[in-house]
Structure 1
Amino acid sequence: MLLPRPQLNTFLGLVTLANVVFGQGQAPAEPLDGLAWVVQVSDLHLSAFNYLPDHYAHFGDKEGDLRLFAGTVLSGLAPGALLLTGDLVDGKTALGRGHQLKTEWEAYRRVLDAIKEESGLPEEAILDLRGNHDDFNVPHRGGAVDFFKDYAAAGRRNATARVTITPLYAGHFRAAWAAGRHFAQGLGDCPVALLAGCDATPDPGLRGPTNFAGFVGASELADLDAQLAQALSFYRARGCELELVAYGHHPLAVIAHPDTRPWTRSSPSRIPGEPITGGASAHFGQGAPQLGPATVQDVLQRHGALTYLAGHLHGIFGQRLHRLHPGPDGGHLAELETTAWKDDRRFRLLSLDGSDLSFVDLSFHTPSRPRAGASADPTPGTAANFSITGVEPGRLVSNWVVHITSPPDGRYAPLLPGMPRKYKAVRALVLPVRPPSAAAQLASRLKVSLRWECAASRTGGQATMTPVAGRGPLWQAAWPRERPCRLDPGDRVVSLQVVADDRSGLVSSSDLRPVALRIVSEGGRSTVLSTPPAPLPLRQGVWERAMLALDWQRLAHRLFHALWAAQLLGLLLAPRLLGNTPSARRWRAAFGPALPPLRGGPSSLLASAAAAAAAAPAVALCDMAEDPAVWWPLAAYSLGLYALPWFMAQFLSGEPGLFLMGKVLYRLDGRWHSRADPDTLRVGSVHLALTVLPATLWTATVTSRWARLLAARRPLRPAVTPAQWAAAAPLLALHAAVAWRICFVSYGWPAVLFSPGLAWTAPLLAWLLVARRRGVLAARRRGGPAGVGTPVSPCTWPAALLPELPAGAAKDR
């Protein structure tokens, strides 16, 4: 059975929209053919510790604000579906250790019940899925501690499904919602789209930080491919033209695939001519071999998905984590990540007008989170004491959300391949952000107008919009084909804005939408709106552009190996192999006491000091490489980071585990299991960059100074200079923070006590230096070299950096 159909029961209750712009207590007489809309909310992070003052001060009343949102905004928007894309609960103890708490899931169920009661949305229209926080410390999907199965809407329908496909019908939530409607013969009309939920949380769900990335293996890819093919073929065989909208928790770049080759751009499953294992060809008798899918993105683009909606990254990298992934046929897949309800009270309204996809990102402001995600002061609050702002500039939300559905935003088009599409009218949804009973009176006074401005000439105009079929919420205005503005040669983009005025003193408007303008007559008098040949520029920050463009899995592999190679090859092997060559010794001697003074004035002295400072680390590393008592332990530690466990931990409650480079070993059901995990490389890269490499350089400066003082028979006092202590202080603080967060907070004291690769780094280094200093002092008392086989060069640092030797000082006391 490919699609989750727990009981195949059909929900046939008729849900009506009362006392809104359609009339008194009746559903619209005519459906809004081809137009549907959904609302997305992500990363709720309902927490059992929300009552704590510090937690509440940072995040406000997340549960209470959701209840208010359901009874006001969601009730007015009346979407065809509500997408809750993961991290439904926080899944952590008060300290921050991953653990599923039943009280958090009970709070989430209360929220779902409030959504159903306050908004009228049936539970079948609530499409939720797991996030990584919902999967912390869950040994078995659908098991005893997997509370998703007991409290989530999708979990009650099918607790173990990774792929959930639901039809989205036109207009408001329709009369028939059924999990298995795809295969029920002869039921109703065609849906506008299929909503495909993709759960990429690992199974089992380990504690973080080894649970940040999603994980989709070959069997899960084949299952996704087969289910999409089966569902789309079912409808298209009946003459339905429908689109595909996918949603999940993890952005596509954060989903790991075990067959990925980190050092190439291809994957084994992309070998030309390989058939899809268990995929569409197997179910529909398509004999021609196809390319096997390598990633979730490959599968979605194979089936012509318009968009993939995600969460997970909150607002760490920006408010517009959007990317258009080009397809081989000239179309695009729009990946749209949204920030968190937890932080920004963010929600998204997304519409499908035929095949035209549009969306708007909004923030919900309440007394507990008055400035959540806001770039400007919120608009005046409503009687319910909330307000709404948009991420895009120019948008105003008072009593209405004004949303242009067609033509699509030129920055996110074209999504479909083929010639640019032409549009003779502008269509917009005008939806209330109040319950229907409160919006009815305002609706009777509503006036909606279209305004436009051509980009180059800065001229424009306006037109009155009228409701489709005589009633809202869809309004439209014909595009004035004859000279809508003074057409200059550069006029190929026009900005559209729809304004709604209900004469309450507050105006609502859409954002300024750039749309391509196409001249369709030789004289340049007649124009139409169209999709652009290529997407128009999207203003994003550097991080916003980069985060979804990166392959996080390959990046983690390459970054870790680059840092590890810099440690072993750059800081250890290269100085040892090259530091004693004749040219290297001459170069090192140039920065010793024999360096003649420069006679060129202050500028020459400054250049000399700069050259000495630049060469000092390399010279110190060469000196340390000549001291096997220090060099060999550092080399062994570096090799251990690559081949040996970093620490022991309970990735699952009561079960031991090992954290290694690129994978984790864990015990479950009496057996040991191994799983590739790019999150270990992410942790390792942080440890190498912030602790290991700087600590190696710091150790080199300390031991180099000791060698020079010993060779000059000067006292080793102080053993570490104030400047060296000042350099060590931030390193120790960073190391302590990383060890505390990764080892103690995530896994407890055992991970600290058995952590040679992470928490022991600073203690091991301190022990090494103490032992080495004792060896140096013992060698001085014997009157020999520094206790090593190779004498240490006395001319390795600039003479100006050496402390002055007091008269008569000959030995260390």
Structure 2
Amino acid sequence: MERTRWIDIRGNHDAFNIMSLDSVNNYYRKYSANQKVGSFHYVHATPFGNYSFVCADATLTPGPKRPYNFFGILNQTQMDMLDTFRAESLKSNQSIWFGHYTTSTIVSPSPGVRELMRSAVAYLCGHLHTLGGLMPVLHSRHPHGTLELELGDWMDNRRYRVLAFDHDLLSFSDLRFEKWPAVVITNPKDAQYMHPDLEPLDRIRRSTHIRVLAFSEATITVVRVIVDGEALGECHPAGGPLYVLPWDPLRYLTGLHTIRVEVEDSLGRSSAREQHFSLARDGVTPSFGFAQSFILLTDHYVVGRAIFAITMLLNVGLLLSFRFMRHFPLGRAGWSSQACMSLRLVSKVDHFFYSLLLFNLCTALGPWFIGELIDGHSGACFAFGVFVNGHFLEGSLTYVVGVIQLLFFNMPLTLYLCWSLHLRCRGNTFRSLLLRPGCRWRCLAVHLLMLLLLAWQAHSCYFLLETYGLLAFLLSPVRTWALGLGLVLVYRAWTCPMPSWSSVAGGGNGKSVSPSS
């Protein structure tokens, strides 16, 4: 603290089960270095100019228990404050924005947080923890050119990043702790991370030296430079971790080139860093991968909301359409006709239709459960958001959870009932199907799949009990009550009297008859 300027901000793990910033469980209040809460603007002053660091704090207050604080939220007041910081940062040589969440996991009003940070050369973030090792590098570029540079976590992956401004050109290396030497090539800058609109790239073409930052616990002994496979020589120290080598940039004015720096220390450890660079005026910039850009640049809460709405409309719309269809012609053949007949059956039998309709409407409009979303503070969870102790947190991950609920329980339950009632209407019983050689294994597979989905729903109820308490378990229409409803409907599908198919196809509810009819 005496030698280093620390800037830290909260993340979602700092807000789990935290009602307010004054909570005794708010460890950030005690262990934060700068003791700042909310967004702020820090200006780093040097003899050659100022550099702005704008913190975008989207952490939820209050912070509910997992999983409903995975997304960050910026309200209009916070956006106005960030816009003020943006205007102030225009006076600096360069500005960097940073926050815990990726922009793809921040809910913000129009014009959106990416638009606010368009004057920054980069946005630094974390949160995704390399997606369990699937995406160790998550970098991309906003439409206006700002780089978004996610970094793996320190706790499990021991990742850290070294950044440097060299003549107002940003360079960086993502490194792993205790892997020495650490190397950052600051000139020439990596072509993939150039920002022509904000960075003075002409300075690379006018430069006289290749510049490298090299760090190690032991003394650096060799810093070797290779360009396009040609060894240019060894750098000499220029003070601190800086090593330089004279070069002639006019040799590389066209095309894309590769620079490789190999570093060794006195303990015999070595490492190398390789990157592409371009001095062409047209700004050759390699693009980022599709997966990286999709993860970082897609507003996932918007996608989740759209998929949830489409899935819900499909599920409810089919029930309503087949319920009020006046006539359904008989005698058709084929898989699609069988499916339509099954949907017609479920829609025309009142206790199945109304049960499924109300269940789906409850999933759409809620509440999903009522309980202690924060210890000692009750609230209610809906698809469109969470209410807790008088506060409303806009829906985000709730839509994703809703889609999972629809795809893994609501819709399979409807399909299973369709299949069951269709077989019943054709004179079959639960027992007769298992004794019939031709379809025994197929029926067992369907029953087993439905059993697994019921078990998944039961596990969701257990998670609800463990996380939010007994009250949430008992007052949960979409979890606990839905499990009981599903069991009752499955039982009724194989035991209740069935209407004749001719009456159902003709548009009426029909007269209930025994299964043997």
TM tier, shorter chain?
Answer: 0.7 to 0.9
CA pair 169-698 structure 1, distance change in 2 beyond 3 A: same
Separation in 2, partners of 1:136, 1:552: 21
Q: Does 1:150 align with 2:150?
A: no
How many Å apart are 1:203 and its aligned residue? 1.6
Measured against aligned partners, the alpha-carbon deviations of 1:240-277 in whole angstroms (never above 9, x if no partner) come to x52111111011121112x4xxxxxxx3xxxxxxxxxx
Separation in 2, partners of 1:190, 1:419: 15
- Would you say the 8 A contact 2:121–2:195 is kept in 1? no
Separation in 1, partners of 2:45, 2:263: 26
Pairing partner for 1:585 from 326, 329, 334: 329
How many Å apart are 1:195 and its aligned residue? 1.9
Amino acid of the structure 2 residue aligned with 1:213: F
CA pair 749-416 structure 1, distance change in 2 beyond 3 A: same
Corresponding residue for 2:257?
494
Corresponding residue for 1:349?
162
How many Å apart are 1:498 and its aligned residue? 1.5
Separation in 2, partners of 1:620, 1:349: 62
Match of 2:116, SS state, is helix
Q: Does 1:775 align with 2:496?
A: yes
Amino acid of the structure 2 residue aligned with 1:790: N
Amino acid of the structure 1 residue aligned with 2:227: W
Separation in 2, partners of 1:482, 1:333: 28
What TM-score does the superposition give when structure 1 sets the normalisation length? 0.57
- Would you say the 8 A contact 2:173–2:184 is kept in 1? yes
Match of 1:658, SS state, is strand
Corresponding residue for 1:478?
246
Runs of 5+ in structure 1 lacking a partner? 1-115, 171-188, 260-266, 268-293, 365-386, 389-397, 454-458, 519-529, 592-610, 795-809
Pairing partner for 1:790 from 506, 509, 512: 509
Corresponding residue for 1:23?
none
Quick one: percent identity of the two aligned structures? 23
CA pair 321-121 structure 1, distance change in 2 beyond 3 A: same
Amino acid of the structure 1 residue aligned with 2:41: I
Relative to its length, the structure with more strand (as a share) is 2
CA pair 758-549 structure 1, distance change in 2 beyond 3 A: same
Corresponding residue for 1:358?
171
Pairing partner for 1:515 from 277, 291, 302: 277
Separation in 1, partners of 2:488, 2:104: 42
Corresponding residue for 2:11?
131
Runs of 5+ in structure 2 lacking a partner? 435-442
CA pair 790-634 structure 1, distance change in 2 beyond 3 A: same
- Would you say the 8 A contact 2:120–2:146 is kept in 1? yes
Amino acid of the structure 2 residue aligned with 1:432: F
Pairing partner for 1:634 from 356, 360, 364: 356
CA pair 479-760 structure 1, distance change in 2 beyond 3 A: farther
Separation in 2, partners of 1:792, 1:312: 59
Structure index of larger Rg: 1
Pairing partner for 1:763 from 467, 479, 484: 484
Aligned pairs for 1:107-256 (under 5 A) are 121-122=3-4, 125-155=5-35, 158=36, 161-168=37-44, 189-230=47-88, 232=89, 236=91, 242-256=93-107
Separation in 2, partners of 1:751, 1:415: 54
Aligned pairs for 1:425-436 (under 5 A) are 425-434=208-217
- Would you say the 8 A contact 2:49–2:93 is kept in 1? yes
- Would you say the 8 A contact 2:423–2:429 is kept in 1? no
Corresponding residue for 1:452?
227
- Would you say the 8 A contact 1:428–1:498 is kept in 2? no
- Would you say the 8 A contact 1:129–1:248 is kept in 2? yes
How many Å apart are 1:417 and its aligned residue? 4.5
Match of 2:408, SS state, is helix
Measured against aligned partners, the alpha-carbon deviations of 1:607-658 in whole angstroms (never above 9, x if no partner) come to xxxx53x654343223322322312211121122222311112112222211
Corresponding residue for 1:575?
322
Pairing partner for 1:305 from 102, 106, 120: 120
- Would you say the 8 A contact 1:658–1:664 is kept in 2? yes
How many Å apart are 1:415 and its aligned residue? 4.9
Match of 1:126, SS state, is coil
Match of 2:431, SS state, is coil
Corresponding residue for 1:22?
none
Give the length in aligned residue pairs: 502
Corresponding residue for 1:648?
370
CA pair 121-625 structure 1, distance change in 2 beyond 3 A: same
Corresponding residue for 2:415?
697
Separation in 1, partners of 2:342, 2:429: 19
Amino acid of the structure 1 residue aligned with 2:156: D
CA pair 658-409 structure 1, distance change in 2 beyond 3 A: same
Separation in 2, partners of 1:419, 1:248: 26
- Would you say the 8 A contact 2:169–2:199 is kept in 1? no
CA pair 429-534 structure 1, distance change in 2 beyond 3 A: closer
Amino acid of the structure 1 residue aligned with 2:332: A
Measured against aligned partners, the alpha-carbon deviations of 1:321-341 in whole angstroms (never above 9, x if no partner) come to 2111132xxxx1101111112
Separation in 2, partners of 1:621, 1:426: 74
Measured against aligned partners, the alpha-carbon deviations of 1:214-237 in whole angstroms (never above 9, x if no partner) come to 11111111112223434x36xx4x
- Would you say the 8 A contact 2:71–2:106 is kept in 1? yes
How many Å apart are 1:732 and its aligned residue? 2.1
- Would you say the 8 A contact 1:130–1:249 is kept in 2? yes
Match of 2:69, SS state, is coil
